[in-house]
Amino acid sequence: MPELPEVETVRRGLEKLIVGKKIINISSDWQKSLPITDNEINNSIKNHEIVSIGRRGKLLIIGLDNSRSLLIHLRMTGQMVYRSESYRFGAGHPNDSLIGKLPDKSTRVIMELDNGSRLFFNDQRKFGFINISENSKINQIPFLNKMGPEPLSQDFTYKIFKARMKNRANSQIKAVLLDQKVIAGIGNIYADESLWMAKIHPLKKVLEISEAKQRALYESIIEVLNTSIEKGGSTDRNYVDAEGKKGSYISFAKVFRREGKKCYRCGKTIIKIRAAGRGTHLCPNCQRI
């Protein structure tokens, strides 16, 4: 599932490519992937210029020149792929559609831009979609108005992190990290990676975690997310790695999906348990309950 670093990779990649371009056409053969009326497409999208591309949590926000924005929900298997005569870019869910001939059977929405390029929204599982909102109403969207702070923003200080943890003192830390109302955009991979880095057992309650470890966790979250973004998330550039292995977007992982392998820090065997209803990876020696 594309998480914050993958969505941020999409955002940064597209920012260089589509801002300033006009949308000539947008079409879909799957209504749920583009739940926008023809009338609205004609009036509010076609022939409008893209002026910005932002992100809130895992939601991509393409700003248009008419104070409206396209909201792109990648969900489980969404990806955005840009293709022009001379340039290719793709990021999001890592699969062959990032690098293959498009459109293909996972293509749900095609956007044509005024420089002859095309932007494909591919989504195998069809849980994602693109809709439109007036800019003034975006923050009122229920899941956005309750969303916690962006972990990579300047405003996300240790003080704020600590206060938000304190509100959830009796909850298990993994569940707290996955709760988008506490911090925006941390999913399963980055929760496991951050907890391993900070040497905290995922089932520990917040109130059982020392001040020093809370500080370590705060720093780990930021470091893990930044490292992943630096590696380019799941762009088509690194989608097939040097060994020809596919889906390299978790290749940086120190603990995620490494069950049965040796901990890079202490050499003990990584195990997998259930925490917050999710498959959770940890080192039983570094991360004690």
Hey, which residues are catalytic here?
2-3, 58, 278
For residue 44, give the nearest of 20, 17, 63, 18 by alpha carbon. 63
> Which secondary-structure segment (H or E) carries 158?
helix 158-166
3-class state of residue 73 by DSSP: strand
Judged by CB, which is closer to Zn ion: 198, or 286? 286
Assess 198 for contact with Zn ion (CB under 5 A).
no
Assess 46 for contact with Zn ion (CB under 5 A).
no
Query: By CB under 5 A, how many residues form the interface with Zn ion?
Result: 6
Q: Which residues of 187-226 form beta strands (DSSP E)?
A: none
Which range, of 1-9, 23-31, 172-180, 263-271, touches Zn ion by CB under 5 A? Answer: 263-271
For residue 73, give the nearest of 90, 87, 97, 92 by alpha carbon. 92
Judged by CB, which is closer to Zn ion: 83, or 265? 265
Q: Which residues 6+ apart lie within 8 Å of 77 measured at CB?
A: 1, 93, 95, 106, 122, 123, 124, 125, 127, 128
Residue 190: CB minimum distance to Zn ion, A: 18
Phi, psi of 203 (to 5 degrees): -90, -5
Assess 284 for contact with Zn ion (CB under 5 A).
no
Judged by CB, which is closer to Zn ion: 183, or 263? 263
201 and 271 Cβ atoms separated by less than 8 Å: no
Assess 266 for contact with Zn ion (CB under 5 A).
yes
Assess 286 for contact with Zn ion (CB under 5 A).
yes
Chosen residue from 45, 50, 263, 282 binding Zn ion by CB under 5 A: 263
Judged by CB, which is closer to Zn ion: 60, or 283? 283
Interacting residue ranges for Zn ion, rule: CB under 5 A: 263, 265-266, 283, 285-286
